[in-house]
Amino acid sequence: MLEAYRQQVAEREAEGIPPLPMDAKQTAKLVELIKTPPAGEADFVLDLFENRVPPGVDEASYVKASFLADVAAEKVSVELISPVRATFLLGTMLGGYNVQPLIQLLDSQNIDVAQEAVIALSKTLLVYEAYHDVVEKSKTNDYALQVLKSWAEAEWFLAKPKMPEQMTVSVFKVEGETNTDDLSPATAAWSRPDMPLHAKEMLKSRMEDIDEVVARLEAKGNPVAYVGDVVGTGSSRKSAMNSVMWFFGNDIPYVPNKRQGGIVLGGKIAPIFFNTAEDSGALPIECDVEQLNTGDVITIHPYDGKITNAAGETLSTFTLAPETLPDEVRAGGRVPLIIGRGLTDKARQALGLAPSEVFIRPTDKSQADHGYTLAQKMVGQACGIAGVRPGMYCEPRMTTVGSQDTTGAMTRDEMKELACLGFSADLVMQSFCHTAAYPKPVDIKLQHSLPDFMTQRGGVALRPGDGVIHSWLNRLLLPDTVGTGGDSHTRFPIGISFPAGSGLVAFAATLGVMPLNMPESVLVRFKGEMQPGITLRDLVNAIPYQAIQEGLLTVEKKGKKNIFSGRVLEIEGLEHLKAEQAFELSDASAERSANGCVVKLDKAPIIEYLQSNIALINWMVENGYESAKTLLRRRDEMQAWIDNPSLLAADADADYAAVIEIDLNTIKEPIVACPNDPDDVKLLSEVENTHIDEVFI
């Protein structure tokens, strides 16, 4: 095993990347080697075991945790690892298979082991239901009480350094727009789970010597910040952010082949990419980057909202948002902050203490008394309140979560790191639509392994060749509910979705909620009658066309104006549409860089849609799709809605960032999008006689 591993090390070192993490078979072999180490190999074997086995609920981590638990409990004695050291190493495994052994070690007769278990559990956040075991044990065990008090005091958070007052960095700038296909090319989607290998594809189409450029910048002795005019548009944001972090982030102790942190500065940062950066512990800042160039050494003053050069001159100003960003950076990301903050709150409640004042708490500063939009009501309902104001932080319940195959492996790995053994979201679906037609060997392997992983946790797995995920996920939706998915085109025709990177999708599936800073809404109101020869696609393109006429949208990338970017697109005036037609409108909100979309529909087309979908679910169950329990639960929820249909509606005095009215009577010719930008729309007459080279049907 060691010989084969060293060969892999040499092969990947030749490519400038580290070896793959240890799998379960290799880890089991390491355990045997630790028990009887070969001459001269003890340090090497121990280093592999400590640093090259993934944490969470990976199969390899199960092997590691089981062995360490036996050593810590003194059931097994080895020279290389003492019981105290074994307990410490259990504490580096984040959560999952290490949690119960650590709780049991609080009862150890070895005082040093019990005290080390306290330290380990105090910084372990992914405990989930095991939290209740600690609370119960704390009634009779002083060590368990120490753990509970540590969680209550947020020592896991306070032990981490604050976000600095100043950050001096070197600039790595990519001019114009950087989309996620620049950072994570679809042609290399198969390598996305292998972060260092996939990062080698970053910006290949934009520059030849990225490694040399980054090395020169790092030689200046400062961290390097990624800078762009427009950053992160497109799909597959998590893999794109992974590549950015591989070049500009920091290693994570005891977590192989993964990095976190880094700084991203953009004139515009696509909303999902921004959120993914937050989740990854990075510092994303939207600011004017006109005066920033590759090689510049700048100082970022995050609390003061400015960027200065060596002479102290201000090059750019910004507002740090969201307000919780300093805590997110300190905690190592928005996801660990949310989980840890929740654990601290529960612990304080159990101890009869007031809520902690350690954290920056999100607040509703709107002081508004006007009504709510339809989207704000849907999100409010998912939070158990009437509505959610723009800018307000919330954690809506996720009723439907979708994962597609090009990011599915990353989502699975994120679930493992979240120690997920069962889904809390009501319905989680995994598709195999992107790789079914021309699968590589790695895709075929995933198609065989991922369905079991998902269905064992209560998810629904589609089959290769079933088709695009949206055509299935949309059929399983419930009206007026909230969901998410790992594809930027996860845009529900009924209800609302907020597409996300694979890390946040894993979070939503695992915990059943998703962090959200509620965006503003833009209302598009159609009126009049559709004219002969005009199709739904023309209505899709009429939205950017009208926005351009009103000065709310520009095509030029530098200084780009886009009223839809980061906001919710709300569409009304087409209530008669069928749900499938509504999806054509909501789907196109991705092209607008909108954060989400809602389409107001009448009850009749929704009832017709759900009746058809119930028949589909029955067919799926009859044909052996799993999890049947999840599918049948969703079928019953659909029937319950049909039996008592009710729809939320926007208040008449709801407030919007903009209202765009489109008169269907005035659209008398097709509106087409020009290469290579869906915002660049023109009337057909403006482009007539253009030579066409290729047609795709």
pLDDT at 303: 97
Residue 232: strand, helix, or coil = strand
Please write the tens of the pLDDT for every residue from 180-201. 999 999 889 889 999 999 999 9
Q: How many CA atoms lie within 13 A of 670 on its CB side?
A: 10
Please write the tens of the pLDDT for every residue from 165-185. 999 999 999 999 999 999 999
Q: Which residue has the tokens 């995050």?
A: 302
Contact (CB, 8 A) for 58 and 416: yes
Please write the tens of the pLDDT for every residue from 466-509. 988 998 999 999 999 999 998 888 999 999 999 988 889 999 99
pLDDT at 406: 85
pLDDT at 366: 67
pLDDT at 488: 82
Q: pLDDT category, 234, cuts 50, 70, 90?
A: confident
CA-to-CA distance for 626 and 603, rounded, in angstroms? 30
Integer angstrom CA distances of residue 67 from 29, 48, 61: 12, 14, 10
Please write the tens of the pLDDT for every residue from 46-105. 999 999 999 989 999 999 999 999 999 999 999 999 999 999 999 999 999 999 999 999
pLDDT at 261: 96
For the chain, the average pLDDT equals 95
Integer angstrom CA distances of residue 424 from 99, 128, 399, 667: 19, 11, 9, 46
Residue 260: strand, helix, or coil = strand
Question: For residue 21, how far is the Cα from the chain centroid?
Answer: 22
| Residue 230 structure tokens | 């427009």
Integer angstrom CA distances of residue 310 from 133, 298, 408, 532: 54, 7, 44, 63
Please write the tens of the pLDDT for every residue from 442-458. 899 999 999 999 999 99
3-state DSSP helix/strand/coil % of the chain, to nearest 5: 40, 15, 40
By CB atoms closer than 10 A (0-12, 13-18, 19+), residue 651 is middle
By CB atoms closer than 10 A (0-12, 13-18, 19+), residue 215 is exposed
pTM equals: 0.83
Please write the tens of the pLDDT for every residue from 385-436. 999 999 888 999 999 999 998 889 999 999 998 999 999 999 999 999 888 8
| Residue 227 structure tokens | 């800078």
Report whether pLDDT(363) > 80.
no
The lowest-confidence range among 155-159, 439-443, 520-524, 633-637 is: 439-443
Q: pLDDT category, 262, cuts 50, 70, 90?
A: very high
pLDDT at 486: 87
Closest CA to 579 of 478, 491, 494: 494
Which residue ranges form the domains of the chain, and what is each CATH number? Answer: 2-158 (1.25.40.310), 167-331 (3.20.19.10), 396-514 (3.30.499.10), 521-601+647-687 (3.40.1060.10)
Q: pLDDT category, 272, cuts 50, 70, 90?
A: confident
pLDDT at 52: 97
Q: What phi and psi values does residue 140 have, to the nearest 5 degrees?
A: -130, -5
